[in-house]
Structure 1
């Protein structure tokens, strides 16, 4: 149900030309899809959200999309891609001055790297 609401909101933002609103609903839709364990769809949606936020020079929206994309990639068993996304999120959180979230993402990044090392994937 949440996905349908987010998709409808996204379409309304698009029709009215509100690209910032549209980008935010892409992020929300991707997050809802990830929570519903529809991870491939979530990854596609969050990638689109990330690209749109980047195009709009919305660093905060972009970092949220990178963060959620990393978690979705991790959820579908792609720790290498997840580590790349989380590293990008760390970089953007630091660039925006959000040291608290950067520290949280550093913690996740260390755990991902440990998993990659243990699996011989690094």
Structure 2
């Protein structure tokens, strides 16, 4: 059985991701911020708007090898089921879920996601 892997984007906007470090993840009401330092020492802040869910696998201080972005319709079954449960419980609107994407910061060594954020949009400031 072939395992689906998220394809890695090596840049997010103009920010090079390879060998960069996630410094800090800050969760706010409907927003998540990821403070990031590139391999060359430049700083960037990824802001995720209308954040629905965050799965953090001790990402702070870890080096990443890229970022994957996937529409919610194509993400793994377990993740979709968790969010659909929120829709069924009335905690989340179906349209909001349909508009979301999964943003995955990929570990440079294991090539597995270490931080996944489900949100409607991502912006980057440096």
User: Could you tell me the TM-score, scaled by structure 1's length?
Assistant: 0.27
- Highest relative contact order (Cα 8 Å, sep 6+), 1 or 2? 2
Give the structure with the larger helix fraction.
1
TM-score using structure 2 length? 0.26
Identify, as 1 or 2, the structure richer in strand. 2
